[in-house]
A = this chain, B = another copy of it.
Amino acid sequence: VADREQILKIHSRGKPLAEDVDLAHVARATPGFTGADLEQLLNEAALLAGRKDKKAVARREIDEARDKVLLGLERTSLVLTDDERRIVAYHEAGHAVVAWDLPHTGTLEKVSIIPRDRSLGVTQQLPKEERFLFDKEWVLDRLTILLSGRAAENLVIGRISSGAEGDLKEATSLARRMILDWGMGDGLENVAFGDDNRNVFLGSEIGRMRNYSEQTAARIDADVTRIVEDGYDRAGELLVARRAVLDGLAAELLEKEEVGADRLEVLLKRE
């Protein structure tokens, strides 16, 4: 965070900032941004301000620019069917409700069903603090949040869609890393698999070659499947218990397309 604030200060020189812009806050809201990302953010914000004939870059432009860098450009020309919009709304609402209930994974920033370059909707979660260590519980919570989109579709729509493809890949990959890299598998604790042969063949993205037996591979598959299923079931249970809230958020999303942090707090808080 401190590093990012420093970089932002450097790149904002010569760019007049409105009084409502707090670079320390911007730094906290941009986890994972590289120096180049931050520079692009400030440039985009200056551009947006210029288009509006504003003399200074205000918080509004900063936020818009951050979304653009983080989530990709909005695709206004892409028109979903009503059925698809309803699926997307419940999918994102599902992510949001479960993410709220597992709060130590981060703070909810925004939920949106405006289609963008890279996805049909987004649930944006800001880490409370930048973490360098993950424990097993934290990883299982992340995994549950990832699967809660589909769990919501299944609960409300009764059908499962291909829209969860990315979530499933990320959840499965987390479950595999728990077992292969982090020694968090049942009966395979403390052992790291597959490391000897990294960078096999011809490039750095080529992945790992198995250095373990078929029997171990079958055991890993069973563990991965069980971990993912448990996460999905847990997401489902959390959603059943908060069905009314889920419906409320989905409805508001269908109406307004985007729901911000303050409104999310009102909608999601438990009595």
Contacts and interface: CB of A to CB of B under 8 A. Distances in A.
A165 B218 CA distance: 22
Interface string A201-222: 1100111110111111110110
Contacts of A1: 79
Interface residues of A, number: 77
Contact of A183 (B87, B132, B160, B224): B160
A178 to B, nearest CB: 9
Nearest to A160: B136
Contact of A192 (B77, B172, B211): B172
B169 A192 contact: yes
Interface in A228-243: 228-229, 232
A202 B202 contact: yes
B191 A168 contact: yes
Contacts of A60: none
A80 interface: yes
A255 interface: no
A176 B190 contact: no
A205 to B, nearest CB: 6
Interface of A: 1-3, 77-81, 84, 87-88, 115, 120, 129-137, 139, 147, 150, 157, 159-165, 168-169, 171-173, 176, 181-184, 187-193, 195-197, 199-202, 205-209, 211-218, 220-221, 224-225, 228-229, 232
